Amino acid sequence: MAVPRSVLPLLFLCFPLCWAQFRSVHDMIYVNITAQAPCVRLMNATHQIGCTSAVSGNVGVLHYCAEQSDVDWLIQSAKNKPYMPLMVPRLFTYENVQGLRASGKISGILVAYGNRSDPQPPQAGFSPVHKCPNDGYGMYSDHPEYAHCKNTTWNPLGSGLSYLDYDFPMSLLVNQSDIDYLIDCHNRFNKYDNDSNQAYPLCAVQIKDRMDGAKDSITCIRRSNLNINLNPFVYCDALGDKNVWGTLRPLNKSTPLNDSKELIVASAKIDTWSLFHNVGGVGANDATGFIALLAAAEALGKLDQVEKNAMKDLMFVFFQGETFDYIGSSRMVYDMRRGEFPAKLNDKVPWQPSLVNTTNIQYFLEVSQVGLWEQSGGLWAHSDPVSQKTSAVRDNVNAIFSAIENATDSTNISIGKPPSFQALPPASLQRFLREDLGVPGIVLSDHMAAYSNNYFMSRLDLPAEIGMDIPANLKPDEAYDYTTKQGESLTKVATVIARTLYQLASNKSPSEAAKITASSSTINHLLYCFLQHANCPLFAEVLSSKSVAALKSLPGPLPRYVSVPQNAANQISQVVANLLTFYLGERLPNLNTPTECKTPRYDHINSYIFMNGRPVVNTTDNTTSYASFCMRAPVQFSTAVSPAFLSNEMLHSNEYSTWTESRWTVLNAKIFLVSSEAEQTITLSVGVVVILVSLVLVYFVNTKSDVLFTAPEAEY
């Protein structure tokens, strides 16, 4: 029978109402977890690490672990498996995770991290990476004495937790409201004692973050390259981004470096990593290296142009991806040795930087972790014992050390040398020496042997651990200008770096170098912006107005995870590039708009960046405008993607980093109440019985419809 036309509008009206009713029922059952940082799957040439959920998600009964006894109860006594433990940070240790994993009672793990200012880190320390970071990809991979950190265990607290493969999801909860709701739900429904288990209904959690990549990078890339349909699917992407480099004065191919050893390289790494994806504000001590180097660049950038022109070429390099087997430095060395750094020479481009090779480097100074030098008794100058068997290299290494020693005289910093037989710590310099043992270099750090940082490469390497003692009651503008203990300490380090580089580049005496001083306010502003809040006046001044608007949505600092390559550099690299341009460059007063402030096609030496500038308040109408300006500086990006991905042969060579990140399509977590298995079985059984009875009833009604629904005959 056809549906009457008058009914169709009612059906169309009913559909959205029914859908709304369905959504309201859904919202009554589920509560979404609004903010989480997942553990994602990464792969290299041999294996996979990280986490993934089932396709339909993982469900578990919520169990709040505030004390070690809560973890022990779950492992030993809990019966309503699977569970989804919510752990406070100090309980999220290698031993507990492995114990929970081995119990077979969990379907995932949540870690409470809402209040970042008080994360309760384990007092004994916590480092989820290896004891020997980047093992196998430095200069000692095959050395009989130094391979695999035989000589020195650099990260003795390293558990390797981040490098394990988990078949269940783990998430870091970064919203305190979510954490409070979960704890309240647990306390209302999931309370237990040591003698009995919880009674149903129970509060449960579902996490869905299925990772598409699997096995290893080689397999994942091969699967991605299979064109078996019109819409090829990519399962993983190579890790990588952009290195940032700049020179005190422009390099020009009109005056090539050739084989002259008169280039000084000062480097630091930008990136860090934690088990949980893109968590900002971690790696505080790791950040002190590049922050100190930026401040040193500013101090040297203030020299007049005449003095700069009289100095040797000085290059500042900020590497990306070093955490993952030296991605940035290995690519730079690869390009240098092939005559392609910064870029292949092109006769059609009049202004182009001269080629740079490892053979041009006279001195190499790398700034590593330097934030805890006061606790460790001073700074330490690490050098390589293998390359120093050559007298020319040894003499230049000694020259760097003498310059550092002279620079520390008036700063109250002691400088020490580790034993001559000790190998270099994990550092970008190792990739240069792996290719060319003629590069004389020193790695400056706050540790003689094992790291002073007890939270290396973890989410607990926080500003408070390095003396960022900003009072909680200060307003944002007051906190921005506040001088912290770390600010005072790091200003001295930046001054030492700047004076060292000045002596090496100018051959001036230590007394003449004493005029170079790093700015205390610059250091404090950099620390605040990189480790506390990216939405700060310094970043707002040097970025474009569009980038500044994007920063306003960030609740804290910028993440420093290298991520995967995009068309443009990621946020942290762009900020570092703009800051280096701001410190080394010159203002162009005649270029007053973004359209005018563009890098000319003929100029491949400089970058032109239109910066937002400082706010200017008009007292007449109380409006705010910005004193924008155009900066030009010899600062550029270079590719920071491993050479392994340039050819299939190099991908299989084990010479370069092969790290990739799995893609994923869905990421969500929900809270709901779950009934017992018996109750669920009864509900299902009743439903099946009702369906069967309904089918029988419908069949009976259908077969007897001529009797049941026969209309009475009309009477005439």
Residue 466 has which token pair?
């390095």
* pLDDT of 15: 54
What amino acid is encoded at 453 in this protein? N
pLDDT at 2 over 60: no
Instruction: Determine the CATH number of domain 240-529+637-641.
Output: 3.40.630.10
pLDDT at 306 over 70: yes
* pLDDT of 134: 95
Which has the minimum average pLDDT: 8-17, 24-33, 223-232, 315-324? 8-17
pLDDT band at 278 (very low <50, low <70, confident <90, very high): confident
3 state SS for 339-404: CCCCCCCCCCCCECCCCCCHHHEEEEEEECCCCCCCCCCCEEEECCCCHHHCHHHHHHHHHHHHHH
Residue 478 CB neighbours (<10 A): 11
pLDDT at 339 over 80: yes
Q: How many residues does the chain have?
A: 716
State pLDDT tens for residues 307-332: 999 999 999 999 999 999 999 999 99
Helices (H), 565-676: 571-584, 648-651
| Model confidence, pTM | 0.91
Domain coordinates in residue numbering, the chain: 25-210+666-679, 240-529+637-641
Residue 189 Ramachandran class (φ > 0 left, ψ -120 to 50 alpha, else beta): alpha
d(CA 192, CA 268): 51
pLDDT at 711 over 90: no
3 state SS for 226-270: CCCCCCCCCCEEECEEEEEEEECCCCCCCCCCCCCCCEEEEEEEC
d(CA 374, CA 485): 11
* pLDDT of 47: 93
CA distances from 233 to 182, 658, 667 (A): 37, 20, 18
Which residue, among 249, 244, 243, has the nearest Cα to 605 in the 3D structure?
A: 249
CA dihedral sign of residues 367, 369, 374, 378: negative
Q: What is the DSSP string of 480-549?
A: HH---HHHHHHHHHHHHHHHHHHHHHH---HHHHTT----HHHHHHHHHHHHT-SSSHHHHHHS-HHHHH
What is residue 115's three-state secondary structure? coil
pLDDT band at 117 (very low <50, low <70, confident <90, very high): very low
d(CA 380, CA 496): 12
Residue 476's φ and ψ, nearest 5 degrees, are -55, -45
* pLDDT of 1: 44
Residue 505 has which token pair?
């580049």
CA dihedral 479, 475, 542, 491 (to 10 degrees): -10
d(CA 141, CA 146): 8
* pLDDT of 7: 46
State pLDDT tens for residues 466-490: 999 899 899 999 999 999 999 999 9
* pLDDT of 116: 53
pLDDT band at 616 (very low <50, low <70, confident <90, very high): confident
Residue whose structure tokens are 């001295």: 492
* pLDDT of 330: 98
Strongest mean pLDDT among 29-38, 224-233, 274-283, 580-589: 580-589
For 17-36, what is the mean pLDDT? 69
Residue 417 has which token pair?
């040398």
pLDDT band at 365 (very low <50, low <70, confident <90, very high): very high
Q: What's the first-to-final CA gap in the chain, in angstroms? A: 28
pLDDT band at 197 (very low <50, low <70, confident <90, very high): low
State pLDDT tens for residues 430-450: 999 999 999 999 999 999 999
